[in-house]
Amino acid sequence: MKNVLKTIQRCFRWLVILFFVSSIGAVVVYRWLPVYVTPLMLIRCVQQAGHGEKIRLRHHWVPLEEMSKYMPVAVMASEDQLFMTHHGFDFNAIGLAWKDHQRGKRQRGASTISQQTAKNVFLWPAHSWLRKGLEAYFTALIELCWSKQRIMEVYLNSIEMGDGIYGSEAVAQWHFHCTAAQLTRQQCALIAATLPNPLRFSSQTPSPYVLRRQSWILKQMKHINTLTDERKTQ
């Protein structure tokens, strides 16, 4: 029995070591290499196949420099206005979300762009304490190893922006018939307006709610610098 326990402990120890080595290695590699596929993309493909649907996977990696300068501004205005100043977590937003949860209110979003990037690239979309713990771990890793510009670049290339559409270049081509570099300020705000639920809301055929949210985002964008401006001040 003791030998069995020792064997289990040894296997567990090696699994932990393997996890840390592989996760850190993946984060270091993705500091430079494009992320061509994510767990969510694969999950969506399996779901489509399971429903007997045609596989839809539209994704074209482009560098941040080949995107409209308004795209990062729009998602910061919509999703994470403190992105350039926090270290991966918005503790005020987390606190407010926890209070809403305790009061039984509709839970507000508290995930930063860094957290969403960690989830999109390394994890699965289901809600659980395990996934939240791993999300915090990967968020800390990418904040430590990547620049804010790199986090934004990966985010804007990997995030789901429509049915089978991932990233700025794909949504620009499929919804606006242009490249990511050609997206206007209004189009970027419209895309950002759909991000809370890109399968329900569409930037191609926006609902009145999405248009109202676009208007609010455009107003917020006036108070946020572009990433180019941020680099000049650093």
Structure confidence at residue 229 (pLDDT): 53
The DSSP result for 175-219, as a single string, is HHSS-GGG--HHHHHHHHHHTT-TTTS-SSS--HHHHHHHHHHHH
Of 126-140, 167-181, 184-198, 200-214, minimum mean pLDDT range: 126-140
Assigned CATH topology for domain 46-229:
Penicillin binding protein transpeptidase fold (1.10.3810)
Q: What is the overall mean pLDDT for the chain?
A: 89
What mean pLDDT is predicted for residues 105-118? 78
Structure confidence at residue 234 (pLDDT): 46
What mean pLDDT is predicted for residues 144-153? 96
Structure confidence at residue 226 (pLDDT): 77
Structure confidence at residue 108 (pLDDT): 47
Find residue 162's DSSP bridge partners.
165
Find residue 165's DSSP bridge partners.
58, 162
93 band by pLDDT with thresholds 50, 70 and 90:
low
Q: What is the dihedral of CA 127, 128, 130, 134, to 10 degrees?
A: 20
171-196 confidence digits (pLDDT tens): 999 999 999 999 999 999 999 999 98
Structure confidence at residue 6 (pLDDT): 75
DSSP H or E run through 228: helix 227-233
> Which tokens belong to 202?
């569409």
pTM here is: 0.89
d(CA 11, CA 37): 30
Q: For 135-158, give one letter per residue: b (16+ CB within 10 A) or e.
A: beebbbbbbeebebbbbbbbbbbb
Beta strand 165-166 pairing with 58-59: parallel
Q: Residue 104: exposed, middle, or buried by beta-carbon count in 10 A (0-12, 13-18, 19+)?
A: exposed
Would the pLDDT of 18 be above 50?
yes
